[in-house]
């Protein structure tokens, strides 16, 4: 009976979460259409924005958006999603987190019929979307930094050939690959929509947390205020960035073995524990049933976390 109740509750919660995601996506698409309608002139039938939203928007989506707008964590989540280049709203991300928790917990309970393991899987499902967002942020930042040297060279050549700064950025958006082309294309579009160059560059700097990009933005802003030869300044910055990328590559090659050892030592106990829990679950349950076992688990987890952090600090060398 408990199993049937658990499965039924899981099915209902999963259905509600899926409906919420679909509802939010539909509401977001309709809101975009409402905004685009404001720029359309000569439409035969006139409808007020409030009436349009009342007919087409989602009640759940509007209420959730209003509730999240009053929370401080929503702005932080919105920034993190923008840095990862995920086209999701905060509500959609939270709904995806709920779905991940339900899937991880439900699958674990269906396989092992263990409440404690299901609780641990639920915690893992809660953090899994955030880890994925962090992974996308790091990957995108690395790709951006690797392309930044060539990007600045293209800016320098464009400016020396007579282009303005905005025209040079348009050339970067056309010629370079993602993510550099995406970010500079956003800057160009924001300027064309009425933002100042400083505001558009600051927005790009918030999306891309790069010290090298900070040098580029600072050089452009200073040149716009006091003048000077921007091409020469950017040429010097490009040389500095190329040397930094080269040195970082050498450091990563020299510390690859230490980083691999850190990952192996940290995740091997976890992998062995999971393997034994499937092969011989009674052996692992002795740790859970005995109060001393919880103390041993806490000490082991603390040691693994501290060891992993220490190794990462040792192999991370700032340039």
Domain ranges in the chain are 2-39+47-137, 140-239, 255-315
pLDDT-based confidence at 43, cuts 50/70/90? very low
pLDDT-based confidence at 70, cuts 50/70/90? low
| Cα of 202 vs its chain's centroid, Å | 19
Find the radius of gyration of the CA atoms of the chain.
26
User: How many CB atoms sit inside 10 A of residue 37's CB?
Assistant: 12
Q: Which residue has the higher pLDDT, 300 or 286?
A: 300
Q: What is the pLDDT of residue 7?
A: 55
Average of per-residue pLDDT across 53-59: 43
Q: Is the pLDDT of residue 5 over 50?
A: no
Q: Which residue has the higher pLDDT, 22 or 300?
A: 300
Q: Is the dihedral of CA 64, 65, 71, 77 positive or negative?
A: positive
Q: Is 70 helix (H, G, I), strand (E, B) or coil?
A: coil
287, 294 contact by CB (below 8 A): yes
* Predicted structure pTM score: 0.66
- Smallest CA-to-CA distance from 210 within 197, 201, 222 is with 201
3-state secondary structure 3-60: HHHHHHHHHHHHHHHHHHHHHHHHHHHHHHHHHHHCCCCCCCCCCCHHHHHHHHCCHH
Q: What is the pLDDT of residue 319?
A: 64
Q: Is the pLDDT of residue 163 over 50?
A: yes
Q: What is the total residue count of the chain?
A: 319
Average of per-residue pLDDT across 202-227: 86
32, 124 contact by CB (below 8 A): no
Lowest mean pLDDT among 108-117, 266-275, 289-298: 108-117
Q: What is the pLDDT of residue 215?
A: 85
Residue 82 CB partners (closer than 8 Å, separation 6+): 206, 207
Give the percent of the chain with pLDDT over 70: 77
Lowest mean pLDDT among 59-73, 74-88, 273-287: 59-73
Q: Is the pLDDT of residue 57 over 70?
A: no
CATH topology of domain 140-239: Receptor-associated Protein (1.20.81)
pLDDT in tens, 14-34: 555 555 555 555 544 444 444
Residue 101 CB partners (closer than 8 Å, separation 6+): 122, 125, 126
> What is the rounded average pLDDT for all residues in the chain?
76
Average of per-residue pLDDT across 261-290: 82
Instruction: Quote the Cα angle for 108-125-9, to 5°.
Output: 60
Lowest mean pLDDT among 35-44, 198-207, 246-255, 266-275: 35-44
Q: What is the pLDDT of residue 8?
A: 52
Residue 96 CB partners (closer than 8 Å, separation 6+): 21, 88, 129
Burial class (CB in 10 A: 0-12, 13-18, 19+), 30: middle
Cis peptide before 233 (omega within 30 of 0): no
């Amino acid at each position: 009976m408990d199993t049937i109740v658990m499965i039924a509750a899981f099915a209902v919660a999963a259905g509600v979460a899926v409906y919420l995601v679909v509802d939010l996506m539909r509401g977001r698409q309709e809101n975009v259409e409402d905004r685009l309608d404001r720029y359309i002139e000569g439409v035969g039938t006139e409808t007020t924005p409030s009436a349009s939203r009342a007919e087409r928007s989602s009640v759940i989506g509007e209420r959730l958006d209003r509730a999240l707008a009053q929370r401080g964590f929503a702005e932080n989540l919105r920034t993190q999603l923008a840095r990862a280049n995920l086209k999701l709203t905060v509500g959609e991300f939270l709904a995806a987190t709920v779905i991940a928790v339900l899937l991880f917990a439900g699958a674990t309970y269906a396989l092992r019929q263990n409440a404690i393991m299901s609780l641990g899987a639920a915690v893992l499902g809660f953090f899994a979307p955030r880890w994925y967002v962090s992974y996308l942020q790091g990957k995108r930042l690395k790709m951006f930094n690797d392309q930044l040297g060539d990007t600045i060279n293209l800016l320098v050549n464009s400016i020396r050939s007579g282009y303005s700064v905005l025209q040079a950025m348009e050339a970067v958006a056309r010629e370079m690959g993602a993510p550099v082309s995406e970010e500079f294309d956003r800057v160009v579009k924001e300027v064309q929509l009425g933002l100042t160059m400083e505001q558009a560059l600051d927005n790009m700097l918030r999306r891309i947390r790069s010290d090298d990009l900070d040098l580029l933005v600072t050089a452009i802003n200073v040149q716009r205020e006091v003048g000077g030869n921007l091409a020469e300044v950017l040429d010097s910055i490009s040389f500095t960035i190329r040397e930094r990328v080269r040195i970082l590559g050498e450091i990563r090659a020299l510390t690859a073995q230490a980083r691999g050892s850190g990952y192996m030592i940290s995740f091997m106990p976890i992998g062995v524990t999971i393997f034994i829990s499937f092969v011989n679950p009674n052996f692992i349950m002795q740790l859970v049933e005995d109060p001393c076992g919880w103390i041993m688990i806490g000490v082991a987890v603390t040691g693994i976390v501290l060891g992993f952090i220490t190794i990462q600090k040792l192999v991370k060398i700032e340039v």
